[in-house]
Structure 1
Amino acid sequence: MKLTSSPATMNLKLFLILIGAGIALGTLYYTQNLVNKLQERERQIVQLYANSLEYATSSDNISSDFTFIFENIIRRIDFPMIVTDGNDNIISTKEGRGYKNIEIPKNANETQIENFLKEKLLELNQTHQPLIVKTPDGQIIQKIFYGDSEIIQKLKYYPYLQILFAALFILIAYSSFSYIKKSEQSNIWVGMAKETAHQLGTPISSLLGWTEILKMNHDNPEKVLDSVEEINNDLFRLNKITTRFSKIGSKPDLIDDYPVASIEKVIKYFERRLPQLGKNVNIQVDGDRNIKAKLNSELFEWVIENLIKNALDAIENKEGKIDFIVFTNKDNVEIEVSDNGKGIEHNKRKDIFRPGYSTKRRGWGLGLSLSKRIIENYHRGKIFVKHSIINEGTTFKIILRKSENIT
């Protein structure tokens, strides 16, 4: 049974990484484009302000009303701005005249404010080139230094924060996925070990018992022959178990075989051991013995054993029944396995095929998981819960392909 990462898993991881990178780059591009547009808008506002100052300094417009400029331009400025003369000297330390939207340290005197504004001026100069205010004859009378508004500064860092949170989420999700996968693999290994011990335990215990009987009846040829026959049966059982486990993880050979005959073999094996369970359970099969399907008999019988064990565990009363019905439906061979056990809750019907899931105190939750793998992966069929009613019983269905329709 291979538990390493498959190519499909690696491709899925690569696909998720590419999708994540695409989303991150798309977010970064969109946000940066939005920032550029907002910066251009603010530059236009500053340019409009500069043009207004040039208009105001024109000798022809000294007596004009500039209320519109102050009401509709200056008030719209929500980004840091400092106004200097042509030699980069701050024209005023008063807010609204020499600067705007700059947080000055509390209790600072005029000299401290001026020094602070000079430092801020250097920062603004590195952010954007200042806009020049000229007189009509081309003389530079003022420069306007400006920076980015608070919303632009936040937008600049937004995509990186988004990428960071996305990466953190992916890391957590991947760690959880890896933990679940490792836990599932651990359950499989533990389950396989216990299943192996369980499969080997019955015939080995039986062999030990027959050995004692041989010792006790060594002088009785008839009982010795009976014991030898049973020992051969248990040795055959051990060989079958070895064959089963050897086929897990490799591609088994499928041949034209009779499902009814395989089911009858398993039923015969269980009928001899039912009295030891203290239950009176009737197991029978109904169907055309000539129906053929592509089967690997060792693995298919393992599935039937698991279904019978599951049904026996579900039958809590002493009187029980397990019925197999085998029939054809178009190109398929269908097998229904019904019992009168305690049933399965609707929300747990998919969980019962998951490795490690078990409702039994000493169960390891591998039987039905292996059965699903054998039927669906090796036989290219299906196995599922057809219906189940609490305290009335459950019906499993197996669907296989008819022999003549498989190439």
Structure 2
Amino acid sequence: MKQHPYRYNKQQWKFLLFLFAALIATASLLYSNYLVKSLSKSERTKAEVWAMSTKSIVTMPDVNDEFISFISAVRDSLSLPAIITDKNEAIVAWRDLDSTKTDNPNDPDSLKQYDPDYFQKQLNKMKKAHPPIHISLDSGQEWRVYYHDSNALAQLRIFPYLQLSLIAIFLIIAYTVFNSIRDSEQNLVWVGMAKEAAHQLGTPISSMMGWLELARVTYDAEDDSVFNEMERDIKRLEIVADRFSKIGSTPSLTNHAVYPVVEEYVNYFKVRTSQRITFELVGDQQVEAKLNVQVFDWIIENLLKNAVNAIEAEGKISINISENIAKEEIFIDISDTGKGIPRANWEVIFQPGYTTRKRGWGLGLSLTKRMVYYHQGQIFVKESEIGKGTTFRIILKSNLRYEPTQI
């Protein structure tokens, strides 16, 4: 497989942009993690100071009131949810918990209820959040200080992920919008080039038709087979020019019997192909579908050319037209005895830029799929086997109310 240079460069840019975004995301996460660790260490220090100040108030009752007031002020300034227990897990003190569930039940003036289950749940959460801080008392007993993160630290932990998610959403939206704008601009360029090519071809084609008529008269060869084939080729050029002039517009669709349309192009194509390749056209000659004949010819042309390119020496190309009456569908199967397509590439071959030819642009099947879609149909690889050949299937509706789109 060979990719078109434009497609290859586009993939390189996408990879580099993805790598750059990954580096930004990694740097953001690392820095946020550094901040989280710093604040987490600071909060552990707060918990230790709060526990020590509580110890001072409880174990030093004889200290003057001014010192106690100072210690109390220091303790109250440390805003952090925490619980102190003894070695038997009995709660000794707490701070910054839900005041509606922590008032002392022994206080007759309290109208709020003490909730033991609430304390136990909070204690379990704190045990999971951080290892306890151990404080030894002069009496030989031990306190254990449990705490969990403040609201600020908890929000900081999730902030980088929220930030990256919002950035990712913004980038996706921006990429989609700019990609759409770029594709629209490219489509306008291609449409303009196609119409200009059709316009430029008009004059020489008309001149060639005139010169052909002059040659016939000059050499008295009205029924000469060579001149007749030249005329068919010139008319074919007119059809090609007309195709290009229709790009970007919405050509009309009308009812046609599918078999004669395919047959006419096959008869034209096979005499211009190696005699070592045989053609077979079979199927229902009566089924009809809404077609734009010139555009539909282009579909058949691309598929037959691909089939010829897939056959390295001699082989056979078969076209089978059938109808599924129950589903009102027409099947057009184009098979070759060529080299086949790997199963992994059955979808990829319809993408712009994919080609196995050294000088190919990789636009044929992509354009074919677009033209089939214009006919409200489907095209896909029905089956393929390496070394044995490939079958493409086109599905058209035999009875449709169309809403035509641009080619």
Instruction: Output the TM-score relative to the length of structure 2.
Output: 0.56
Check whether the contact 1:214–1:227 (CA below 8 A) recurs between aligned residues.
no
State which of 322, 327, 335 in structure 2 corresponds to 1:327: 322
Q: Secondary structure at the match of 1:338?
A: strand
SS in 1 for 2:221: helix
Say if 1:294 and 1:252 are closer, same or farther in 2 by CA, change over 3 A: same
Distance in 2 (CA, whole Å) between partners of 1:207 and 1:224 is 20
- Aligned pairs for 1:253-264 within 5 A: 253-264=252-263
TM-fit CA distance, 1:245: 2.4
Q: Distance in 1 between matches of 2:258 and 2:287?
A: 7
AA in 2 matched with 1:357: Y
Within the candidate set 382, 392, 404, 2:388 is matched to: 392
Aligned to 1:287: 283
Matched, 1:312 2:308: yes
Shift of 1:285: 1.1
How far has the Cα of 1:294 moved from its partner? 1.6
1:144 to 66, 69, 74: 74
The Cα shift of 1:271 comes to 2.1
Secondary structure of 2:260 counterpart = helix
Q: Which residue of 2 aligns with 1:58?
A: 61
**TM-score for the superposition, normalised by structure 1:** 0.56
Change (3 A) 1:183 1:250: closer
Letter in 2 for 1:247: K
1:143 Cα shift? 3.9
Deviation at 1:317, TM superposition (A): 1.3
- RMSD value, Cα: 5.0
Distance 1:195 1:311 in 2: 28
1:206-228 Cα deviation digits (max 9, x unpaired)? 9869959966x764212587676
Which residue of the partner structure matches residue 9 of structure 2?
none
Matched-pair contact (CA < 8 Å) for 1:355–1:366: yes
CA contact (8 A) 1:335 1:399 kept: yes
The Cα shift of 1:159 comes to 4.2
Taking a change above 3 Å as real, the CA distance of residues 401 and 209 of structure 1, as seen in their structure-2 partners, is closer
Among 371, 375, 378, which residue is 1:374 paired with?
371
- Rounded Cα–Cα distance in structure 2 between residues aligned with 1:195 and 1:281: 35
Larger Rg: 1
Match of 1:243 in 2: 242
Distance 1:340 1:204, change over 3 A: farther
CA contact (8 A) 1:262 1:297 kept: yes
| Offset, 1:259 | 1.0
Deviation at 1:365, TM superposition (A): 1.1
- Classify 1:287/1:218 alpha carbon distance in 2 versus 1 (closer, same or farther; 3 Å): same
Kindly provide the CA deviation profile for residues 220-262 of structure 1, in whole angstroms up to 9, marking residues without a partner as x. Answer: 2125876765554344323322332233333332211111111
Structure 1 runs not aligned, ≥5 long: 1-27, 63-84, 87-132
SS at match of 1:144: helix
Aligned to 1:82: none
- Number of equivalenced pairs: 294
Matched with 1:119 is none
SS in structure 2 at match of 1:263: helix
Compute the displacement of 1:287 (Å).
Answer: 1.1
Structure 2 runs not aligned, ≥5 long? 1-31, 81-129, 131-148
Distance 2:307 2:394 in 1: 15
- Matched residue, 2:293: 297
Shift of 1:191: 12
> Percent same amino acid at aligned positions?
30
Contact kept, 8 Å, 1:256 with 1:403, in 2: the verdict is: no
Q: Assess, with a 3 A threshold, how the Cα gap between structure 1 residues 191 and 315 changes in structure 2: closer, same or farther.
A: farther
Contact 2:318 2:335 in 1 (8 A): yes
**Distance in structure 2 (CA, Å) of the matches to 1:323 and 1:192:** 36
Alpha-carbon distance between aligned partners in 1 of 2:242 and 2:329, rounded to the nearest angstrom: 27
Look up the match of 2:220. Answer: 221
Alpha-carbon shift at residue 189 of structure 1 (Å): 7.0
2:353 is paired with a residue of what secondary structure?
coil
SS of corresponding position for 1:380: coil
Give the Cα separation in 2 of the matches to 1:207 and 1:289: 37
